[in-house]
Amino acid sequence: MGRHHPGTGPKLLFAYSAATVPKITVILRKAYGGGYIAMCAKDLGADCTLAWPSAEIAVMGRGGGEIVFHRELLEAENSAAKRQETIQQYRQTFYTPYVAAGYRLVDDIIEPARTRATWRRRWTRFPPNATGVPRRNTG
Q: Tens of pLDDT along 85-96?
A: 777 777 777 778
104 Rama class: left (phi>0) / alpha (psi -120 to 50) / beta: left
Residue 64 has pLDDT above 70, yes or no: no
Contact 95, 39 (CB under 8 A): no
Residue type present at position 60? M
* Mean pLDDT rounded to a whole number for the chain: 77
Closest by CA to 56, choosing from 96, 92, 88, is 96
What's the pLDDT at 111? 95
Torsion over CA: 15, 17, 21, 27 (sign) = positive
Domain boundaries, the chain: 60-100
Q: pTM, whole model, 2 decimals?
A: 0.69
Residue 34 has pLDDT above 90, yes or no: no
Q: What percent of the chain clears pLDDT 90, i.e. is strictly above it?
A: 16
The arithmetic mean of pLDDT across residues 114-122, rounded, is 91
N residues, the chain:
139
